Structure formats: C-alpha cells, structure tokens
Amino acid sequence: MKLSVVIPVYNERPLIFEVLRNVQDVEVNGVEKEIIIVDDCSSDGTREFLQGLRVESIRVFFQDRNQGKGAALRRGFKEATGDVVIVQDADLEYDPTEYPNLLAPIRAGIADVVYGSRFLGGPHRVLYFWHYAGNKILTTLSNMFTNINLTDMETCYKMFRREVLDDIVLEQDRFGIEPEITAKVAKAGWRIYEVPISYHGRTYAEGKKIGWKDGFKALYCILRYNLPFL
C-alpha cells in the first residue's frame, strides 16, 4: 500500500520545515509514503524554501497565482500516485502521528473515506467559541441534506481510497471544498468512518486564515451540492 500526503501551502514559512519533518517521521507499518506539496503562490519565503528542497520522497508543485485551498487540493489529488490519499494542512494544527488511526478502517476493508473528528474526545486547544458553534451548525446542516451523521464536516483530516477521488469531480477553489467533498462522497454512497483526533488550533495572530466569509461560502456549497436545482 502507498499513502500520498497532500499538503496545500500558503505563507507558512515559519512552520513548513517542522510540518515536513513531522510528516516524514511518521511510519505506518507496511505502507510506502509520498509527500505532495502544492504551494499556492506564497509570498513570505515559503515558495523559495520549497524551490530549494531536494528530498526524494517529496514532490513540490507551484501554482502560478493564489487560488485557494480547494484549487491546491485538486492539483495535489491529480499528482498523487498512492492507493490512499490524506490531506495535511501546513499549520501544525493536526498531528501526523495519527495517520495509522485514520488508515485503520481502510486497511480493515470497512471504509472508503475516513474523517478525523476534533469532537470525538481527542485533546484539543481551547479557542474560539463562535468557530466551534459555526462548525457545529455547518456540520448539522450538511448532515441534514446528506443524511449522514458526521460530527466534524470541516475537518482537515480526510483520508480517501484512490477510487473515491477518481469517482468525484471537485470544483471549489477555497474552503468550500470541504462541504463539496462531503456532499459528493455521501451522494455516491462511499463508506465513511470517523475517528477521534487531537487538535492544536491557531489564533489569527498565529496565522489562522479561515474567516466568516468562508462560513457563508460553506453554507452556499452545502445547498449547491445537495439540492439538484441549484
């Protein structure tokens, strides 16, 4: 089995080295690993750092203009060659040592997609109430339309069998890709599991990028990809 770790990156120069080291250090028994980085036209030195990177297991791709996380993920999914693909943000909010737990349902043959849920009991940094409330509202609305019972639709940690990504066509350029993925995976009938993960959230002063406008876009995407007349 081969695992592709897709990392969308935008202006993460202080953290990118540590993120890559953490991902490289993770060992999953019997699994080969490749790292796919897509730089979304960073302007803080991240791009220059990645241009100088020479590591055999890491492949780097550069967007010619800033397009958003969704566009970077589409590029990464296209370039990935693994049997299983996982999304890894470049901000140290998610812990790569949890890859084996996410992979376990797929290896057992009981899941096609695995979500890492921040709300199933793992340790997490205490931060913004309204982010938590907004996530719960969006997840609940998504569940109402998809008729599945996720606890964390907006999580970064989504792991897919290759066949799932080959089956769905993704369109969203920014954070709207999260509800889009969920709607299309649920509609196609793929088997979805959740596992608890830890979460080390950032403040805006520390570089967090998602904002209230992205919440409204997520709401639009929930409706668009679940209602056939939109």
Question: What would the pLDDT profile of 107-153 be if each residue is shown by its tens digit?
Answer: 999 999 999 999 998 777 776 787 788 889 999 999 999 999 999 99
DSSP letter (8 states) at residue 124: B
DSSP letter (8 states) at residue 143: H
Residues in Cβ contact with 167 at an 8 Å cutoff, skipping those fewer than 6 apart: 188, 190
Instruction: Give pTM, 2 decimals.
Output: 0.91
51-60 burial, b if ≥16 CB within 10 A, otherwise e? eeeeeeebbb
**Kind and range of the H or E run holding 23:** helix 13-25
In the chain, the domains with their CATH numbers are 2-224 (3.90.550.10)
Select from 140, 217, 215, 145 the least CA-distant residue to 185.
145
Residues lower than pLDDT 70 in the chain = 127, 202, 204-209, 212, 229-230
**Around Cβ 121, how many Cβ atoms within 10 Å?**
10
Select from 102, 115, 110, 104 the least CA-distant residue to 151.
115
Q: Is 87 helix (H, G, I), strand (E, B) or coil?
A: strand
Residue in this structure with the two tokens 């990464």, named with its chain if needed: 76
Gap between the Cα atoms of 211 and 134, Å rounded: 11
Would you state the structure tokens that stand for residue 33, as one six-digit string? 């690993």
Inter-residue contact 92 to 23 (CB < 8 Å)? no
Residue type, 39: D
Residue type, 23: V
Residues in Cβ contact with 103 at an 8 Å cutoff, skipping those fewer than 6 apart: 3, 28, 31, 84, 114, 159
Gap between the Cα atoms of 179 and 70, Å rounded: 11
pLDDT at 133: 85
pLDDT at 33: 96
Residues in Cβ contact with 190 at an 8 Å cutoff, skipping those fewer than 6 apart: 112, 113, 164, 167
pLDDT at 39: 98
Alpha-carbon torsion (177, 193, 211, 40), positive or negative = negative
pLDDT at 109: 97
Tell me what the pLDDT averaged over the chain comes to: 92
Inter-residue contact 103 to 3 (CB < 8 Å)? yes
